[in-house]
């Protein structure tokens, strides 16, 4: 394959990644609804630890583990914000901060 072929492959992979990230975002949104209705916290360190373990176990390279973790840290941040936006209306009755905000900032 030449560079043009590789770039076409990357373009197709990017389209697939966007589709998968949007599916993940939809799942995070639905989880946000469930958390809102059950007063569960947005930030769940044990769940995040499990996610990191799962993706590291699935990694066959050549992406180094440290870089993969950085990618997933950002993905998790974005998904947490999606959940925060889902829960936000119910937080207006309180101080407007999530449990994660309180843990980090207090």
pLDDT tens-place string over residues 29-63: 999 999 999 989 999 999 999 999 999 999 999 99
pLDDT of 83 > 80? The answer is: yes
Task: Please check whether residue 89 is in contact with residue 33, taking contact to mean a CB–CB distance below 8 angstroms.
Answer: no
Query: What is the C-alpha R_g of the chain?
Result: 17
Instruction: Tell me the whole-structure pTM to 2 decimals.
Output: 0.78
Tokens at residue 60, please?
């066959």
- Distance between CA 56 and CA 61 in Å, rounded? 10
Question: What is residue 3's three-state secondary structure?
Answer: helix
What is the count of structural domains for the chain? 1
Give pLDDT, residue 29.
95
pLDDT of 80 > 70? The answer is: yes
Mean of pLDDT values over 78-106 = 67
Quickly state the pLDDT bin for 87 (edges 50, 70, 90). Answer: confident
Residue-range definition of the domain harbouring residue 63: 3-105
Question: What CATH number has the domain bearing residue 7?
Answer: 1.20.59.10
């Amino acid at each position: 394959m030449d560079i043009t072929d590789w770039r076409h492959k990357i373009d197709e992979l990017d389209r697939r990644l966007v589709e998968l990230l949007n599916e993940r975002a939809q799942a995070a949104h639905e989880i946000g609804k469930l958390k809102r209705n059950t007063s569960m916290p947005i930030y769940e360190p044990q769940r995040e630890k499990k996610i990191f373990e799962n993706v590291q176990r699935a990694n066959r390279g050549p992406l180094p583990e440290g870089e993969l973790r950085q990618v997933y840290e950002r993905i998790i941040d974005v998904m947490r914000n999606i959940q925060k936006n889902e829960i936000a209306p119910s937080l207006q009755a309180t101080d407007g901060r999530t449990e994660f905000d309180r843990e980090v900032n207090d």
